[in-house]
Amino acid sequence: MANGKPLLKEKDKKEKTLTLGKWQIKCDKRLQEIGRQRFKKCEACSKPMYCLHHFITKGLSARLRYDWDNLVPICPSCHFAHHKKSDPNIHATVIKKRGQAWYDLLESKRREHMDVNVGYYKYVWEMLK
pLDDT, block means (10 residues), the chain with 129 residues: 47 64 94 96 96 93 94 96 89 95 95 85 87
| Per-residue burial over 99-128, b = 16 or more CB atoms within 10 Å of its CB, e = otherwise | eeeebeebeebbeeeeeeeeebbbebbeee
Supply the pLDDT for residue 2. 46
The set of residues, in sequence order, having a beta carbon less than 8 Å from that of 76 and lying 6+ positions away, is: 50
Residue 51: phi, psi to the nearest 5?
-155, 170
Q: Name residue 106's amino acid.
A: L
pLDDT score for 8: 41
Grouping H, G, I as helix, E, B as strand and the rest as coil, residue 114 is coil
pTM of the model: 0.80
Instruction: Supply the pLDDT for residue 7.
Output: 44
Residue 14's pLDDT is what?
A: 54
